[in-house]
Amino acid sequence: MTDTPATDEIAAAEHHHGAIARRVDALHRRVDHLPGGRTALRVLVACVGGAFILAGAAMLVLPGPGWLTIFLGLAILGTEFSFARRINDWLRTQVRRMWAWWKARRGKDGAVSGA
């Protein structure tokens, strides 16, 4: 695929995203047949996703995987809310840019220290 573990992991996650999207679509089809079902689902997703984000924010100063929990909360919110999907897309782009910068920097440092 590619030569870096981070880009391999991102590509694998994007591949699995199709399976998750199909499951979310199937859930939407089932919920749409219930009166008030979609609204209830959106409220549930907002509560669960928001709880993850708040817990992640607390874990930034307490022991625990704060950023990972925040990103998971955004992913949960992204199943129902477009703003969270846009934030996730932006973050994915930033991670790729940072990884490319880090890889280029390590390449320069390795060439200098190896001389």
The H or E element spanning position 26 is helix 5-32
Provide the 3-class DSSP secondary structure of residue 99.
helix
Residue 42 pLDDT greater than 70, yes or no: yes
DSSP notation for 43-83: HHHHHHHHHHHHHHHHHTTSSS-HHHHHHHHHHHHHTT-HH
Query: Residue 59's pLDDT is what?
Result: 95
Is 60 exceeded by the pLDDT of residue 115? no
**Angle, alpha carbons 9-96-81 (nearest 5°):** 80
Instruction: State the pTM of this model.
Output: 0.65
